[in-house]
A and B are shown apart, each in its own frame.
Chain A
Amino acid sequence: MEMLVASAIGVLTAGGLYLILRLRTFPVIMGMSLLTYAVNVFLFTSGRLTTGAPPILRDDVAVYADPLPQALVLTAIVISFGMTAVVVMISLGAFLGSDDDHVDDPTQQDQDRTGDAS
């Protein structure tokens, strides 16, 4: 199971990073989402992988699932969800405003083409 989870995190991270380097807003946002999925799974595993173990430490329980990473993941999911919504809105605004979905600064050539000197 460790191998499966670890490679899943690795593939998600690699895919996310590749998409982020595409420098157009849609792939970059998709990449950000993949990266946040990767980090959520990573946080989840930081409390060690267990199956069928109770999440609360009691006197008669020897193996238990650490409940704290689950709480952390929940917080991280909520925050990344909100952030994705924000970045989608801002990117949409930028795209509709300048008719261009590049993330990086426009080159001189682009500026000449669109006549947008700012």
Chain B
Amino acid sequence: MTHWIVAPVILPALLAPFIVLAARYHIGIQRTFSVVGVLALIAVATGLAIQASDGTITIYQMGDWAAPFGIVLVADRLSTLMVLLTAVLALFVLLYAIGSGWDNRGRHFHALFQFQLMGLMGAFLTGDLFNLFVFFEVLLIASYGLMIHAGGNARLRAGVQYVLFNLIGSTLFLFALGAIYAETGTLNMADLAQRAALIGADATAGLRVGAVLLLLVFAIKAAVVPLHFWLPSSYAEAPWPVAALFAIMTKVGAYGIIRVYTMIFPPELEATSGLHDIWLQPAALVSLAVGMFGVLAAKRLDRLVAFSVIGSMGIVMVTISLFTPEGMAAALYYIVHSTLAGAALFLIADLVRTSRKNLDLTPQAPIAGAALTAALFFLAAIAMVGLPPLSGFIGKLLVLTAALESERVVWIWAIVLGSSLISILGFARAGSVVFWKATSVAPIDEAENADDLRSPAVLSYVAVGGLIAVLTAHTVFAGQVHGYTTAIAAQLFAPEPYLSTVLDTPGKLSVPKEDY
């Protein structure tokens, strides 16, 4: 049994208290440890991803207790991909936070950041539903701190909304777990998958309640309409580097849906049939439309980016709700793309904010470093709306191809293509107002605003450029990446190896009594 699987959880969990306790007043030491920690995380995540890439599923039994009695961490292709994505995103966000000085505008940024990573990694790796709840709480409580980092009235108010919405989500999660446990007597995902299939067709009421509540919880996290109301103001008011990290948080919801509804409640399970195609898919289509209309209607750049995140989550959920191997492969490709593109856009919004009084979409004086910032915005916007040549285009192409066999192919094509047009308009308007019309306004008195307006640091540009570079690599190696996501989807739709690995690996309990 390899211990490396638990490393992505343990490493930030040890680093965060160290940063709080030992390096409390030394921002330099905090930064060093934080960056080194994230680099180590990337190394571990890469190792795990390579290990899982040939289809082997490795598990880690906490305290050596065998599943379903103990908690297991499971590293399969999907988990390791998400862990690697989180680690890579974290590196660039962290570099940006250091470069822009955001981490020094309040206390404990780095500690909270590490706790947030711990929660994310744990949520992706765990093989137990209650443990998933616990890691959700870990990442949420860290995100509450990050959300109100650097303070301010508008941010605190948005923080209250964010916390309350997520608390209600957590309570729903507990109700769902209670209902599922009452029906099946287990919360281990693999064990659940076997037991849910055994429940007779006349006794599924409780299980259905649990499945629907669980879908609601994940839909809140994934900001699917009509459960998206928390996202725009939370993401727009959060410090922008934090909002960029939050780009992965909506994907936690998507991950939960993929994991639970391929393995435990698959589409062919009669008890929960209709959940994904009658409920999830229309909701996802609506959230795609709402998100992209929001892009067009937004009056501030950060809200525009927040709505584009809702829209891209809509595309992800539409594709997931097809529940075909092609659809899942396309969805996973798009998840990677939209995480990176959304994060890049939030960071660019902060680049603009650094040298501009506000993010209102009105013509204002030219900003410092406008050419480079504008070029980065242009690239990230192209990626986000799905124009060639960047990965958004390939992602949408895969989505549309995967939707061909669906019954709602006309709806999906119409809404995906129509919303793309709307978001192109929205981003084009925003870009031209912020960057081009700027020259038509007289420059403001430099001396008057010298204190709070300055050009962004080089490291900030490096971080955003790095994200764009990863996006470009995601485009250039689209064939390989899509091949790999196809392999992930194949693994998801054939869960028998996962189940047998988790349930048949011996642990303490399988040792005969006389050996003690």
Contacts and interface: CB of A to CB of B under 8 A. Distances in A.
Interface of A: 20, 25, 28, 32, 35-36, 39, 42-43, 45-48, 66, 68-69, 72, 75-76, 79-80, 82-83, 86-87, 90-91, 93-94, 97-98, 100, 103-106, 116, 118
Contacts of A98: 153, 156-157
A114 B178 CA distance: 45
Number of chain B interface residues as a range: 20 to 34
A25 B171 contact: no
Contact of A116 (B153, B164, B167): B153
Interface in B231-257: 233
A32 B152 CA distance: 25
B163 A87 contact: yes
B10 interface: no
Contacts of A80: 170-171
B144 interface: yes
Interface in B150-167: 151-154, 156-157, 159-161, 163-164, 167
Nearest to A102: B157
Given A47-B181, A93-B148, A39 B164 contact: no
Contact of A118 (B134, B151, B154): B154
Contacts of B175: 39, 42
Nearest to A105: B233
Contacts of B170: 79-80, 83
The 8 closest A-B pairs by CB, nearest first: A46-B182, A94-B156, A46-B178, A97-B153, A98-B153, A39-B174, A43-B178, A118-B154
B181 A46 contact: yes
Given A42-B178, A79-B134, 17 more contacts: A20-B164, A20-B168, A28-B164, A43-B174, A43-B177, A46-B181, A46-B182, A48-B182, A66-B185, A72-B130, A83-B141, A87-B167, A90-B156, A94-B156, A94-B160, A98-B153, A98-B156
A43 B181 CA distance: 9
Nearest to B154: A118
Main secondary structure of the interface of B (DSSP, over half): helix
B179 interface: yes
A60 B50 CA distance: 50
Nearest to B173: A39
A83 B164 CA distance: 10
A65 B386 CA distance: 56
A83 B148 CA distance: 15
B144 A90 contact: yes
B277 interface: no
Given A32-B168, A43-B174, A90-B148, A82 B141 contact: yes
5 contacts: A35-B171, A36-B171, A76-B174, A79-B134, A87-B167
Nearest to B175: A39
Interface of B: 130, 134, 137, 141, 144, 148, 151-154, 156-157, 159-161, 163-164, 167-168, 170-171, 174-175, 177-179, 181-182, 185, 233
A47 B168 CA distance: 23
A43 B144 CA distance: 25
Contacts of B151: 93, 97
Contacts of B157: 94, 98, 100, 105-106
Contacts of A35: 168, 171
A93 B148 CA distance: 10
B175 to A, nearest CB: 6
B6 to A, nearest CB: 19
A46 B187 CA distance: 12
A87 B148 CA distance: 12
- Residue among B134, B148, B156, B178 with the highest chain A CB neighbour number at 10 A: B178
Contacts of A103: 160-161, 164
Contacts of A91: 160
B513 to A, nearest CB: 12
B153 A118 contact: yes
A68 B174 CA distance: 14
A24 B30 CA distance: 38
A28 B153 CA distance: 19
- Residue among A20, A39, A103, A116 with the highest chain B CB neighbour number at 10 A: A39
A33 B160 CA distance: 15
Given A93-B148, A94-B153, A87 B160 contact: yes
Contacts of A72: 130, 177, 181
